Structure 1
Amino acid sequence: MLRSSALGIAALLMALVWLAAPQGTRAQWAESFGLGCPGQWVAGGTMCLCPDGQYAAYINGQVTCPGGGQGIGGGGYQGDPCGWGSCNPGSYCGEPGVCVPNGQTYCGGGQSCPAGTKCSTGGCLPQEATDCGDGSYCPGGTLCWQDPPDDTRFYGGSTQCLGVEEYADRTESLRREREENSPEAKARRAEAERKTKARTDAEKREIGAEKKKAAAEGRELETDRKAQEQRLLSSPADRKAGASDKTAAEIMRELREDSLLDRLN
């Protein structure tokens, strides 16, 4: 009973290993499952050597010759080791179980790109193209411009191809604009406006004080003039003598008024 269980487990493990192997290498395990070999089983029945000296391939459930790997004796392979097998001449191993034709670039995930192209998120691109990272690309010598998610006014959020200088100008313009709209920049502008308003208000208060002072001096001069005229005309005897004095007083008043106007201006 124990022996039968052990044999069953071993057979199950061999089956899992055989199923996990790449198609081109499953023929190595085929004899254990009763599959025929068009040539000769070698390496303890784990490899089928075709009459032409190549190792057989496992295609559509059949061991098929010619296979691909060229026998070099000792049950080995000529070619790149690739998982449990080897890649045919003219190809290389991209990753275990994946053989890639020479000249192609392996991109991963079983995908490769032909010569003259390169791998990208959107498939194969021309070698000189600029990969925009969203499945699109730009011609060589240009750069991908993508509007920021929060500001799509340039191209409505679509990807555009720009020359190097235009791309640099657009980037710098956007940087300056964002800097100007930052909280720090807004705080600096608010502080500058506050200081300007405070300075303007102080100047207005100073001008107002000077005008009040000039008005007070004008009223004082007017009071003095009227008092002098009253003294000159207070008696009939003084009227004649006061006429010439009055003229002098008028002249003095005009001079004082001119001086007051100069101050107000």
Structure 2
Amino acid sequence: MRDDEFLAERFEAHRGQLRAVARRMLGSAAEAEDAVQEAWVRMSRSDTTHVDNLGGWLTTVVGRVCLDMLRSRRSRAEQPLEPEAPVPAAVPDPEQDVLLADSVGSALLVVLDTLTPAERLAFVLHDLFAVPYDGIADVIGKSPAATRQLASRARRRVRGARSADSDHVTPARRRELVDAFLAAAREGDFEGLLDVLDPDVVVRTEAGVTTGASAVAKGAATYSRHMVGVPVPALVDGATGIALLRDGRVERTLAFTFVHDRISVIDITTDRERAARLKITLL
């Protein structure tokens, strides 16, 4: 057998696992295939004769590729989350399949759609594929302790999303929380903002993602002092939120998601053309 055939055979033995990792990281089957192909290219250009754990080495490579793709996607403000069936694990395991089927939907919805690329990587590699924190730390360029914190933060978001359906917040209470958020932001009331924000609140804009109540509260208090336009409570595509009006036109919108009687996600649309396509009902 030629060297290139032997190399290809070794890679194919791990392709299913690599595809599963990339699919859960990226939320897109097409992008997952691109990531796996890039891993093959990098492997074919590397000397792996002294690699003891080729599967682990390739998983690390795919992780780096996915991290680069997520960061690139974030800079373009894209969220290509596809409503596809989960990719099966490389080695069939009925018990593990049940656990993954229970977790992957929430993981994709919350981790891929709200967390930073590093947080997504830490959660997916550690919690779904049991990659040690030391190995993940090498990929994202942080210490093992910092990597553990990233995974823990992501894990809390996933747990919160799992219980969100049963943790119903009434429309009246949503309006109260939004009014309290708006009042605290106007007054620069940092503690008041913390009272209505989930500790792991996520703010998503076209520019990227901000996480954590402290960072979000500081940002809201600062922005309110320089805000141009009139904030009005509104339904934004059916979600309780705020429309910022200027000369009678929607300048930007904020749509809120609620978990455990707190604001857990704030989706901000700053692009006027995108805001104009939203269905806005002033309250």
Name the TM-score class by shorter chain. under 0.3
TM score, norm. by length of structure 1: 0.23
Higher relative contact order (Cα pairs below 8 Å, separated by 6+ residues): 2
Larger radius of gyration: 1
Greater per-residue helix proportion: 2
TM score, norm. by length of structure 2: 0.22
